[in-house]
Chain A
Amino acid sequence: MAFLNFLISGISLGSIYAIIALGYTMVYGIAKMLNFAHGDVIMVGAYICFYAVARYKLPPLVGILAAMAVCTVLGIVVERLAYKPLRAAPSLAVLITAIGVSYFLQNGALLLWSSNPKVFPSVTGMGKISLFGGQLTVSLVTVVTIITCIVIMLVLTWFTGNTKMGKAMRACSEDKGAAQLMGINVNSTISMTFAIGSGLAAIAGVLLCSAYPTLVPTTGSMPGIKAFTAAVFGGIGSIPGAMLGGILLGVIEIFAKAYISTQVSDAIVFAVLIVVLLVKPAGLLGKQVNEKV
Protein backbone atom coordinates (compact mmCIF):
# COMPACT_ATOMS: atom_id res chain seq x y z
CA MET A 1 0.00 0.00 0.00
CA ALA A 2 2.90 2.33 0.68
CA PHE A 3 3.88 2.04 -2.96
CA LEU A 4 0.40 3.03 -4.11
CA ASN A 5 0.40 5.92 -1.68
CA PHE A 6 3.70 7.21 -3.02
CA LEU A 7 2.50 6.78 -6.56
CA ILE A 8 -0.60 8.87 -5.88
CA SER A 9 1.42 11.59 -4.15
CA GLY A 10 3.81 11.53 -7.08
CA ILE A 11 1.04 11.91 -9.62
CA SER A 12 -0.47 14.72 -7.58
CA LEU A 13 2.82 16.64 -7.30
CA GLY A 14 3.45 15.84 -10.95
CA SER A 15 0.05 17.26 -11.87
CA ILE A 16 1.09 20.59 -10.39
CA TYR A 17 4.36 20.49 -12.33
CA ALA A 18 2.39 19.58 -15.44
CA ILE A 19 0.04 22.56 -15.10
CA ILE A 20 3.03 24.89 -14.68
CA ALA A 21 4.92 23.16 -17.50
CA LEU A 22 1.98 23.82 -19.84
CA GLY A 23 2.56 27.54 -19.42
CA TYR A 24 6.27 27.15 -20.22
CA THR A 25 5.66 24.95 -23.20
CA MET A 26 2.84 26.97 -24.75
CA VAL A 27 4.77 30.22 -24.47
CA TYR A 28 7.90 28.55 -25.80
CA GLY A 29 5.94 26.98 -28.64
CA ILE A 30 4.56 30.28 -29.82
CA ALA A 31 7.02 32.98 -28.76
CA LYS A 32 10.11 30.71 -28.89
CA MET A 33 11.23 32.09 -25.55
CA LEU A 34 11.76 30.64 -22.09
CA ASN A 35 9.67 32.70 -19.74
CA PHE A 36 11.65 32.23 -16.55
CA ALA A 37 9.27 34.56 -14.74
CA HIS A 38 6.53 31.95 -15.11
CA GLY A 39 7.33 30.39 -11.71
CA ASP A 40 6.87 33.74 -10.02
CA VAL A 41 3.45 34.20 -11.57
CA ILE A 42 2.51 31.09 -9.55
CA MET A 43 3.61 32.83 -6.39
CA VAL A 44 1.59 35.95 -7.23
CA GLY A 45 -1.47 33.77 -7.84
CA ALA A 46 -1.00 32.07 -4.50
CA TYR A 47 -0.72 35.42 -2.66
CA ILE A 48 -3.86 36.76 -4.32
CA CYS A 49 -5.78 33.66 -3.33
CA PHE A 50 -4.29 33.82 0.19
CA TYR A 51 -5.46 37.40 0.73
CA ALA A 52 -8.86 36.77 -0.79
CA VAL A 53 -9.54 33.68 1.33
CA ALA A 54 -7.61 34.23 4.58
CA ARG A 55 -7.94 38.02 4.93
CA TYR A 56 -11.13 38.95 3.16
CA LYS A 57 -12.89 35.68 4.00
CA LEU A 58 -14.08 35.17 0.46
CA PRO A 59 -15.11 31.68 -0.63
CA PRO A 60 -12.17 29.61 -2.01
CA LEU A 61 -13.64 29.54 -5.51
CA VAL A 62 -13.76 33.34 -5.61
CA GLY A 63 -10.16 33.36 -4.37
CA ILE A 64 -9.07 31.08 -7.21
CA LEU A 65 -10.94 33.13 -9.80
CA ALA A 66 -9.41 36.34 -8.44
CA ALA A 67 -5.94 34.76 -8.61
CA MET A 68 -6.57 33.66 -12.20
CA ALA A 69 -7.84 37.09 -13.20
CA VAL A 70 -4.86 38.90 -11.67
CA CYS A 71 -2.32 36.46 -13.14
CA THR A 72 -3.90 36.59 -16.59
CA VAL A 73 -3.62 40.36 -16.60
CA LEU A 74 -0.10 40.15 -15.16
CA GLY A 75 0.92 37.74 -17.92
CA ILE A 76 -0.44 40.03 -20.64
CA VAL A 77 1.15 43.14 -19.12
CA VAL A 78 4.56 41.49 -18.65
CA GLU A 79 4.50 40.29 -22.26
CA ARG A 80 3.46 43.70 -23.56
CA LEU A 81 5.99 45.70 -21.54
CA ALA A 82 8.99 43.39 -21.26
CA TYR A 83 8.96 40.87 -24.10
CA LYS A 84 7.09 42.46 -27.01
CA PRO A 85 9.68 45.22 -27.57
CA LEU A 86 12.27 42.42 -27.91
CA ARG A 87 10.40 40.42 -30.56
CA ALA A 88 13.26 40.92 -33.03
CA ALA A 89 16.06 40.83 -30.45
CA PRO A 90 18.47 37.90 -30.01
CA SER A 91 17.07 35.16 -27.78
CA LEU A 92 19.74 35.78 -25.15
CA ALA A 93 18.39 39.30 -24.57
CA VAL A 94 14.89 37.90 -24.09
CA LEU A 95 16.15 35.24 -21.70
CA ILE A 96 17.97 37.79 -19.57
CA THR A 97 14.86 39.99 -19.57
CA ALA A 98 12.79 37.03 -18.37
CA ILE A 99 15.21 36.44 -15.50
CA GLY A 100 14.96 40.16 -14.73
CA VAL A 101 11.17 39.98 -14.66
CA SER A 102 11.44 36.99 -12.33
CA TYR A 103 13.54 38.99 -9.84
CA PHE A 104 11.26 41.96 -10.24
CA LEU A 105 8.21 39.91 -9.30
CA GLN A 106 9.98 38.25 -6.35
CA ASN A 107 11.22 41.52 -4.97
CA GLY A 108 7.92 43.23 -5.64
CA ALA A 109 6.26 40.50 -3.59
CA LEU A 110 8.85 40.97 -0.85
CA LEU A 111 8.02 44.66 -0.72
CA LEU A 112 4.26 44.22 -0.85
CA TRP A 113 3.80 41.13 1.26
CA SER A 114 7.05 40.90 3.31
CA SER A 115 9.23 37.83 3.73
CA ASN A 116 7.19 36.44 6.65
CA PRO A 117 5.81 33.06 5.59
CA LYS A 118 2.06 33.00 5.21
CA VAL A 119 0.18 29.88 6.19
CA PHE A 120 -1.93 29.12 3.18
CA PRO A 121 -5.50 28.05 3.91
CA SER A 122 -6.44 24.88 2.10
CA VAL A 123 -8.97 25.69 -0.59
CA THR A 124 -10.31 22.16 -0.62
CA GLY A 125 -10.67 21.66 3.11
CA MET A 126 -8.68 19.14 5.12
CA GLY A 127 -10.76 16.13 4.23
CA LYS A 128 -9.33 12.71 3.52
CA ILE A 129 -10.67 9.88 1.49
CA SER A 130 -10.20 6.33 2.77
CA LEU A 131 -9.87 3.47 0.34
CA PHE A 132 -9.42 -0.28 0.76
CA GLY A 133 -10.97 -0.23 4.24
CA GLY A 134 -8.73 2.49 5.55
CA GLN A 135 -5.46 1.05 4.30
CA LEU A 136 -5.02 3.86 1.82
CA THR A 137 -5.87 7.44 2.72
CA VAL A 138 -5.69 10.15 0.15
CA SER A 139 -6.14 13.80 1.01
CA LEU A 140 -8.78 15.80 -0.76
CA VAL A 141 -6.14 18.21 -2.10
CA THR A 142 -4.44 15.33 -3.88
CA VAL A 143 -7.64 14.20 -5.53
CA VAL A 144 -8.66 17.73 -6.53
CA THR A 145 -5.18 18.37 -7.96
CA ILE A 146 -5.21 15.28 -10.12
CA ILE A 147 -8.75 15.92 -11.37
CA THR A 148 -7.96 19.57 -12.12
CA CYS A 149 -4.93 18.50 -14.12
CA ILE A 150 -6.93 16.00 -16.17
CA VAL A 151 -9.65 18.58 -16.86
CA ILE A 152 -7.08 21.19 -17.94
CA MET A 153 -5.43 18.69 -20.25
CA LEU A 154 -8.73 17.74 -21.89
CA VAL A 155 -9.84 21.35 -22.29
CA LEU A 156 -6.51 22.45 -23.78
CA THR A 157 -6.40 19.52 -26.17
CA TRP A 158 -9.90 20.35 -27.32
CA PHE A 159 -9.08 24.06 -27.53
CA THR A 160 -5.97 23.68 -29.69
CA GLY A 161 -7.52 21.00 -31.88
CA ASN A 162 -11.01 22.33 -32.45
CA THR A 163 -11.32 26.06 -31.98
CA LYS A 164 -10.34 28.73 -34.44
CA MET A 165 -8.21 30.51 -31.84
CA GLY A 166 -6.48 27.27 -30.84
CA LYS A 167 -5.67 26.41 -34.43
CA ALA A 168 -4.37 29.93 -35.00
CA MET A 169 -2.08 29.38 -32.01
CA ARG A 170 -0.74 26.20 -33.56
CA ALA A 171 -0.27 27.98 -36.88
CA CYS A 172 1.66 30.80 -35.17
CA SER A 173 3.83 28.34 -33.28
CA GLU A 174 4.81 26.71 -36.56
CA ASP A 175 5.35 29.74 -38.76
CA LYS A 176 4.51 33.27 -37.64
CA GLY A 177 5.17 34.78 -41.07
CA ALA A 178 2.83 32.38 -42.82
CA ALA A 179 0.23 32.82 -40.06
CA GLN A 180 0.29 36.56 -40.67
CA LEU A 181 -0.30 35.99 -44.38
CA MET A 182 -3.48 34.13 -43.42
CA GLY A 183 -4.71 37.23 -41.62
CA ILE A 184 -3.87 35.98 -38.12
CA ASN A 185 -2.88 38.76 -35.72
CA VAL A 186 0.31 37.23 -34.36
CA ASN A 187 0.76 39.75 -31.54
CA SER A 188 -2.67 39.19 -30.09
CA THR A 189 -2.23 35.43 -30.43
CA ILE A 190 0.99 35.64 -28.40
CA SER A 191 -0.82 37.79 -25.82
CA MET A 192 -3.56 35.18 -25.62
CA THR A 193 -0.98 32.45 -25.01
CA PHE A 194 0.58 34.40 -22.16
CA ALA A 195 -2.90 34.96 -20.73
CA ILE A 196 -3.74 31.25 -20.79
CA GLY A 197 -0.34 30.19 -19.41
CA SER A 198 -0.55 32.71 -16.57
CA GLY A 199 -4.13 31.77 -15.73
CA LEU A 200 -2.99 28.17 -15.44
CA ALA A 201 -0.06 29.29 -13.29
CA ALA A 202 -2.54 30.82 -10.84
CA ILE A 203 -4.37 27.50 -10.54
CA ALA A 204 -1.05 25.72 -10.04
CA GLY A 205 -0.08 28.24 -7.35
CA VAL A 206 -3.27 27.66 -5.40
CA LEU A 207 -2.96 23.86 -5.66
CA LEU A 208 0.72 23.94 -4.75
CA CYS A 209 0.13 26.03 -1.64
CA SER A 210 -2.85 23.92 -0.65
CA ALA A 211 -0.59 20.87 -0.61
CA TYR A 212 2.49 22.64 0.82
CA PRO A 213 0.99 25.53 2.78
CA THR A 214 4.00 27.78 3.39
CA LEU A 215 3.88 30.85 1.17
CA VAL A 216 6.91 33.15 0.74
CA PRO A 217 7.97 35.37 -2.20
CA THR A 218 10.31 32.66 -3.51
CA THR A 219 7.67 29.93 -3.36
CA GLY A 220 7.34 29.81 -7.12
CA SER A 221 10.96 29.60 -8.13
CA MET A 222 11.83 25.96 -7.39
CA PRO A 223 8.56 24.50 -8.74
CA GLY A 224 9.01 26.83 -11.70
CA ILE A 225 12.43 25.42 -12.49
CA LYS A 226 11.22 21.85 -12.00
CA ALA A 227 8.24 22.47 -14.26
CA PHE A 228 10.57 23.94 -16.86
CA THR A 229 12.60 20.73 -16.56
CA ALA A 230 9.39 18.77 -16.97
CA ALA A 231 8.55 20.69 -20.13
CA VAL A 232 12.01 19.93 -21.57
CA PHE A 233 11.73 16.33 -20.39
CA GLY A 234 8.46 15.86 -22.25
CA GLY A 235 9.60 17.83 -25.29
CA ILE A 236 9.32 21.59 -25.10
CA GLY A 237 6.60 23.01 -27.32
CA SER A 238 4.45 19.89 -26.99
CA ILE A 239 1.31 20.07 -24.82
CA PRO A 240 1.01 16.30 -24.18
CA GLY A 241 4.77 16.32 -23.59
CA ALA A 242 4.41 18.87 -20.80
CA MET A 243 1.71 16.78 -19.13
CA LEU A 244 3.71 13.57 -19.40
CA GLY A 245 6.96 15.24 -18.35
CA GLY A 246 5.32 16.90 -15.36
CA ILE A 247 3.69 13.77 -14.05
CA LEU A 248 6.79 11.62 -14.56
CA LEU A 249 8.93 14.22 -12.82
CA GLY A 250 6.56 14.29 -9.83
CA VAL A 251 6.50 10.51 -9.57
CA ILE A 252 10.29 10.20 -9.87
CA GLU A 253 10.75 12.89 -7.24
CA ILE A 254 8.42 11.27 -4.71
CA PHE A 255 9.87 7.78 -5.31
CA ALA A 256 13.39 9.12 -4.96
CA LYS A 257 12.39 10.79 -1.70
CA ALA A 258 10.65 7.71 -0.39
CA TYR A 259 13.03 4.96 -1.41
CA ILE A 260 16.43 6.58 -1.80
CA SER A 261 17.00 9.81 0.04
CA THR A 262 15.20 13.07 0.64
CA GLN A 263 18.41 15.05 0.30
CA VAL A 264 19.41 13.79 -3.11
CA SER A 265 15.92 13.50 -4.61
CA ASP A 266 16.37 16.61 -6.71
CA ALA A 267 19.74 15.38 -7.92
CA ILE A 268 18.11 12.13 -9.00
CA VAL A 269 15.34 14.01 -10.82
CA PHE A 270 17.84 16.06 -12.80
CA ALA A 271 20.06 13.03 -13.45
CA VAL A 272 17.08 11.29 -15.06
CA LEU A 273 16.49 14.40 -17.16
CA ILE A 274 20.07 14.37 -18.39
CA VAL A 275 19.88 10.70 -19.33
CA VAL A 276 16.61 11.19 -21.20
CA LEU A 277 17.99 14.16 -23.11
CA LEU A 278 21.10 12.20 -24.05
CA VAL A 279 18.94 9.48 -25.56
CA LYS A 280 16.15 11.68 -26.91
CA PRO A 281 17.47 15.22 -27.36
CA ALA A 282 14.04 16.57 -28.32
CA GLY A 283 12.47 15.19 -25.13
CA LEU A 284 10.03 12.30 -24.79
CA LEU A 285 7.35 13.64 -27.12
CA GLY A 286 9.43 16.34 -28.80
CA LYS A 287 8.60 17.16 -32.37
CA GLN A 288 11.02 15.93 -34.95
CA VAL A 289 9.90 17.58 -38.14
CA ASN A 290 11.11 16.28 -41.44
CA GLU A 291 10.92 19.13 -43.87
CA LYS A 292 10.45 18.35 -47.52
CA VAL A 293 12.34 20.36 -50.05
Chain B
Amino acid sequence: MMLTVENIDVFYGAIHAIKGISFDVNEGEVVALIGANGAGKSTTLKTISGIMHPRNGKITFLGEDITHTDGYKLPAKGLAQVPEGRRIFLQMTVMENLEMGGYIQKKVPDEDFERVFAHFPRLKERRSQIAGTLSGGEQQMLAMGRALMSHPKLLMLDEPSMGLAPILVEEIFNIIREFHASGTTILLVEQNAEMALQIADRAYVLESGAIALSGTGKELAESDAIKKAYLGG
Protein backbone atom coordinates (compact mmCIF):
# COMPACT_ATOMS: atom_id res chain seq x y z
CA MET B 1 0.00 0.00 0.00
CA MET B 2 1.46 3.33 -1.00
CA LEU B 3 -0.87 5.72 0.81
CA THR B 4 -3.42 4.93 3.50
CA VAL B 5 -5.76 7.50 4.92
CA GLU B 6 -7.62 6.25 8.00
CA ASN B 7 -10.58 8.03 9.50
CA ILE B 8 -9.26 11.57 9.31
CA ASP B 9 -11.16 14.53 10.71
CA VAL B 10 -10.10 17.96 9.51
CA PHE B 11 -11.39 21.27 10.80
CA TYR B 12 -11.23 24.86 9.59
CA GLY B 13 -11.67 26.51 12.96
CA ALA B 14 -15.08 25.26 14.07
CA ILE B 15 -16.08 23.93 10.66
CA HIS B 16 -15.83 20.18 10.38
CA ALA B 17 -14.62 19.97 6.77
CA ILE B 18 -13.59 16.31 6.55
CA LYS B 19 -15.63 13.82 8.51
CA GLY B 20 -13.84 10.55 9.05
CA ILE B 21 -12.59 9.84 5.53
CA SER B 22 -10.69 6.59 4.83
CA PHE B 23 -9.21 5.50 1.53
CA ASP B 24 -6.05 4.10 0.07
CA VAL B 25 -3.87 4.24 -3.00
CA ASN B 26 -1.89 1.22 -4.21
CA GLU B 27 1.40 1.47 -5.99
CA GLY B 28 0.94 2.01 -9.72
CA GLU B 29 -2.70 3.05 -9.52
CA VAL B 30 -4.53 6.13 -10.67
CA VAL B 31 -7.04 6.99 -7.96
CA ALA B 32 -9.52 9.84 -8.37
CA LEU B 33 -11.37 11.82 -5.73
CA ILE B 34 -14.41 13.39 -7.32
CA GLY B 35 -17.23 15.48 -5.98
CA ALA B 36 -18.86 18.87 -6.11
CA ASN B 37 -17.39 22.17 -5.04
CA GLY B 38 -16.86 22.25 -1.29
CA ALA B 39 -17.09 18.48 -0.86
CA GLY B 40 -13.66 18.43 0.78
CA LYS B 41 -11.49 17.16 -2.07
CA SER B 42 -8.85 19.87 -1.89
CA THR B 43 -8.84 19.82 1.90
CA THR B 44 -8.10 16.09 1.75
CA LEU B 45 -5.10 16.71 -0.51
CA LYS B 46 -3.87 19.58 1.64
CA THR B 47 -4.05 17.32 4.67
CA ILE B 48 -2.05 14.57 2.96
CA SER B 49 0.62 17.04 1.85
CA GLY B 50 0.95 18.47 5.36
CA ILE B 51 -0.39 21.96 4.66
CA MET B 52 -3.15 21.11 7.16
CA HIS B 53 -3.14 18.46 9.84
CA PRO B 54 -6.05 16.24 10.87
CA ARG B 55 -7.48 16.39 14.38
CA ASN B 56 -8.04 12.63 14.45
CA GLY B 57 -7.05 9.76 12.26
CA LYS B 58 -3.87 8.60 10.62
CA ILE B 59 -2.10 9.02 7.29
CA THR B 60 0.53 6.49 6.27
CA PHE B 61 2.80 6.94 3.26
CA LEU B 62 5.07 4.04 2.22
CA GLY B 63 4.72 2.52 5.66
CA GLU B 64 5.61 5.71 7.53
CA ASP B 65 3.18 7.67 9.69
CA ILE B 66 3.08 11.18 8.18
CA THR B 67 -0.05 12.41 9.99
CA HIS B 68 1.79 15.23 11.75
CA THR B 69 4.91 15.50 9.60
CA ASP B 70 5.79 19.05 8.54
CA GLY B 71 4.74 19.52 4.93
CA TYR B 72 8.17 20.59 3.71
CA LYS B 73 9.64 17.21 4.62
CA LEU B 74 7.26 15.25 2.39
CA PRO B 75 8.74 15.90 -1.07
CA ALA B 76 11.95 14.19 0.04
CA LYS B 77 9.88 11.13 0.97
CA GLY B 78 8.44 10.93 -2.54
CA LEU B 79 5.23 12.91 -2.32
CA ALA B 80 4.53 15.80 -4.69
CA GLN B 81 1.48 17.93 -5.30
CA VAL B 82 0.31 20.08 -8.16
CA PRO B 83 -1.80 22.52 -6.17
CA GLU B 84 -5.16 23.93 -7.11
CA GLY B 85 -4.76 27.10 -9.14
CA ARG B 86 -1.25 26.00 -10.21
CA ARG B 87 0.56 28.26 -7.74
CA ILE B 88 3.64 28.55 -9.91
CA PHE B 89 6.13 31.27 -9.00
CA LEU B 90 4.91 33.97 -11.37
CA GLN B 91 7.92 36.26 -11.02
CA MET B 92 10.48 33.56 -11.60
CA THR B 93 11.51 32.11 -14.94
CA VAL B 94 10.32 28.73 -16.21
CA MET B 95 13.75 27.26 -15.46
CA GLU B 96 13.78 28.71 -11.94
CA ASN B 97 10.33 27.27 -11.29
CA LEU B 98 11.57 23.84 -12.33
CA GLU B 99 14.66 24.31 -10.22
CA MET B 100 12.45 24.99 -7.19
CA GLY B 101 10.60 21.78 -8.05
CA GLY B 102 13.90 19.96 -7.64
CA TYR B 103 14.75 21.84 -4.44
CA ILE B 104 15.20 18.65 -2.41
CA GLN B 105 18.19 17.71 -4.55
CA LYS B 106 21.55 19.30 -3.83
CA LYS B 107 21.96 20.25 -7.43
CA VAL B 108 19.36 19.57 -10.09
CA PRO B 109 20.85 17.38 -12.84
CA ASP B 110 20.29 18.47 -16.47
CA GLU B 111 18.51 15.16 -17.24
CA ASP B 112 15.71 16.18 -14.91
CA PHE B 113 15.01 19.31 -16.91
CA GLU B 114 15.20 17.30 -20.12
CA ARG B 115 12.74 14.76 -18.75
CA VAL B 116 10.21 17.53 -18.07
CA PHE B 117 10.85 19.10 -21.47
CA ALA B 118 10.20 15.72 -23.09
CA HIS B 119 6.69 15.81 -21.64
CA PHE B 120 6.25 19.54 -22.30
CA PRO B 121 8.20 20.68 -25.36
CA ARG B 122 6.52 24.08 -25.14
CA LEU B 123 8.16 24.74 -21.79
CA LYS B 124 11.55 24.22 -23.37
CA GLU B 125 10.86 26.98 -25.89
CA ARG B 126 9.87 29.27 -23.06
CA ARG B 127 12.53 28.21 -20.56
CA SER B 128 13.88 31.69 -19.84
CA GLN B 129 10.51 33.43 -19.89
CA ILE B 130 9.00 34.80 -16.66
CA ALA B 131 6.30 32.34 -15.63
CA GLY B 132 3.67 35.07 -15.16
CA THR B 133 3.75 35.73 -18.91
CA LEU B 134 2.78 32.15 -19.84
CA SER B 135 -0.74 31.29 -20.98
CA GLY B 136 -3.06 29.46 -18.59
CA GLY B 137 -2.42 26.09 -20.23
CA GLU B 138 1.33 26.61 -20.18
CA GLN B 139 1.17 27.58 -16.53
CA GLN B 140 -0.64 24.31 -15.75
CA MET B 141 2.06 22.42 -17.65
CA LEU B 142 4.74 24.24 -15.69
CA ALA B 143 3.01 23.37 -12.42
CA MET B 144 2.96 19.71 -13.47
CA GLY B 145 6.52 19.76 -14.72
CA ARG B 146 7.67 21.40 -11.51
CA ALA B 147 6.09 18.60 -9.46
CA LEU B 148 7.89 15.99 -11.58
CA MET B 149 11.26 17.51 -10.74
CA SER B 150 11.31 15.93 -7.29
CA HIS B 151 10.90 12.39 -8.77
CA PRO B 152 7.70 11.73 -6.83
CA LYS B 153 6.52 8.22 -6.12
CA LEU B 154 3.03 9.58 -5.57
CA LEU B 155 1.89 12.61 -7.53
CA MET B 156 -1.23 14.38 -6.32
CA LEU B 157 -3.00 16.68 -8.76
CA ASP B 158 -5.61 19.15 -7.57
CA GLU B 159 -8.07 20.17 -10.31
CA PRO B 160 -5.56 20.16 -13.16
CA SER B 161 -8.29 20.87 -15.72
CA MET B 162 -9.71 23.89 -13.96
CA GLY B 163 -10.19 26.92 -16.18
CA LEU B 164 -8.73 25.29 -19.28
CA ALA B 165 -10.24 24.99 -22.77
CA PRO B 166 -11.51 21.47 -23.62
CA ILE B 167 -8.65 20.80 -26.02
CA LEU B 168 -6.13 21.66 -23.31
CA VAL B 169 -7.99 19.47 -20.82
CA GLU B 170 -7.48 16.53 -23.22
CA GLU B 171 -3.80 17.38 -23.45
CA ILE B 172 -3.39 17.62 -19.69
CA PHE B 173 -5.08 14.24 -19.16
CA ASN B 174 -2.88 12.67 -21.83
CA ILE B 175 0.13 13.91 -19.94
CA ILE B 176 -1.23 12.45 -16.71
CA ARG B 177 -1.47 9.13 -18.58
CA GLU B 178 2.17 9.56 -19.66
CA PHE B 179 3.23 10.22 -16.06
CA HIS B 180 1.37 7.10 -14.98
CA ALA B 181 2.87 5.02 -17.77
CA SER B 182 6.35 6.05 -16.65
CA GLY B 183 5.66 4.53 -13.23
CA THR B 184 4.26 7.35 -11.10
CA THR B 185 1.30 6.58 -8.87
CA ILE B 186 -1.39 9.24 -9.23
CA LEU B 187 -3.98 10.67 -6.86
CA LEU B 188 -6.24 12.95 -8.83
CA VAL B 189 -8.79 15.43 -7.50
CA GLU B 190 -11.24 16.57 -10.15
CA GLN B 191 -14.57 18.25 -10.62
CA ASN B 192 -14.55 17.03 -14.20
CA ALA B 193 -15.85 13.60 -13.20
CA GLU B 194 -16.17 12.36 -16.76
CA MET B 195 -12.48 12.84 -17.55
CA ALA B 196 -11.37 11.66 -14.14
CA LEU B 197 -13.35 8.41 -14.29
CA GLN B 198 -11.97 7.60 -17.73
CA ILE B 199 -8.43 7.65 -16.46
CA ALA B 200 -8.91 6.30 -12.92
CA ASP B 201 -8.43 2.68 -11.86
CA ARG B 202 -10.49 3.45 -8.79
CA ALA B 203 -12.39 6.47 -7.57
CA TYR B 204 -14.01 7.83 -4.43
CA VAL B 205 -16.95 10.20 -4.49
CA LEU B 206 -16.90 12.85 -1.77
CA GLU B 207 -20.04 14.54 -0.52
CA SER B 208 -19.96 17.12 2.26
CA GLY B 209 -16.75 15.86 3.77
CA ALA B 210 -17.48 12.14 3.66
CA ILE B 211 -17.09 9.34 1.14
CA ALA B 212 -20.45 8.65 -0.46
CA LEU B 213 -19.43 6.03 -3.02
CA SER B 214 -16.38 4.20 -4.21
CA GLY B 215 -15.51 1.71 -6.89
CA THR B 216 -13.52 1.23 -10.06
CA GLY B 217 -13.56 4.08 -12.54
CA LYS B 218 -15.67 2.01 -14.90
CA GLU B 219 -18.25 1.02 -12.26
CA LEU B 220 -18.71 4.59 -11.14
CA ALA B 221 -18.91 5.94 -14.69
CA GLU B 222 -21.78 3.53 -15.31
CA SER B 223 -23.57 4.06 -12.01
CA ASP B 224 -26.88 5.85 -12.26
CA ALA B 225 -26.33 7.97 -9.18
CA ILE B 226 -23.07 9.29 -10.58
CA LYS B 227 -24.51 9.89 -14.02
CA LYS B 228 -27.28 11.93 -12.49
CA ALA B 229 -25.17 13.94 -10.09
CA TYR B 230 -21.90 14.50 -11.93
CA LEU B 231 -22.07 13.46 -15.54
CA GLY B 232 -25.08 15.48 -16.59
CA GLY B 233 -27.21 12.53 -17.58
Chain A residues near B (Cβ < 8 Å):
164, 167-168, 170-171, 174-175, 177-186, 287, 289-293
**Could you list 6 further interchain pairs (A-B, Cβ under 8 angstroms) beyond the known A170-B96, A182-B103?**
A171-B89, A174-B92, A178-B89, A181-B49, A181-B71, A183-B74
Contact of B132 among A178, A292, A293 (CB under 8 A): A292
Interface string of B96-136 (1 = CB under 8 A from A): 10011101100000000000000000000000000010111
Q: A164-B103, A168-B100 are in contact. Are A177 and B89 (CB under 8 A)?
A: no
- From B89, B99, B135, residue with most partner A Cβ within 10 Å: B89
Please give the distance in Å from B107's CB to the nearest CB on chain A.
8
Please give the distance in Å from B23's CB to the nearest CB on chain A.
21
Q: A168-B100, A290-B132 are in contact. Are A180 and B72 (CB under 8 A)?
A: yes
* Contact call B90/A177, Cβ cutoff below 8 A: no
- Bound together, the chains give a CA A291 to CA B87 distance in angstroms of 10
- From B72, B81, B99, residue with most partner A Cβ within 10 Å: B72
- Bound together, the chains give a CA A186 to CA B150 distance in angstroms of 18
Contact of B89 among A164, A174, A292, A293 (CB under 8 A): A174
* Contact call A178/B83, Cβ cutoff below 8 A: yes
- Chain B's closest residue to A292 (CB) is B136
- Chain B's closest residue to A161 (CB) is B96
- Bound together, the chains give a CA A80 to CA B150 distance in angstroms of 30
- Bound together, the chains give a CA A287 to CA B88 distance in angstroms of 17
- Chain B residue total in the interface (Cβ 8 A): 33
Does B80 interact with chain A (Cβ within 8 Å)? Answer: yes
Chain B residues near A (Cβ < 8 Å):
49-51, 70-76, 80-81, 83, 87-92, 96, 99-101, 103-104, 132, 134-136, 139, 146, 150, 163
Please give the distance in Å from A18's CB to the nearest CB on chain B.
22
- Bound together, the chains give a CA A57 to CA B39 distance in angstroms of 69
- Bound together, the chains give a CA A5 to CA B134 distance in angstroms of 48
Q: Which residues of A contact B70 (CB under 8 A)?
A: 185
- Bound together, the chains give a CA A185 to CA B73 distance in angstroms of 8
- Bound together, the chains give a CA A289 to CA B76 distance in angstroms of 31
* Contact call B101/A182, Cβ cutoff below 8 A: yes
* Contact call A291/B132, Cβ cutoff below 8 A: yes
- Bound together, the chains give a CA A180 to CA B49 distance in angstroms of 9
Please give the distance in Å from A180's CB to the nearest CB on chain B.
5
Please give the distance in Å from B156's CB to the nearest CB on chain A.
10
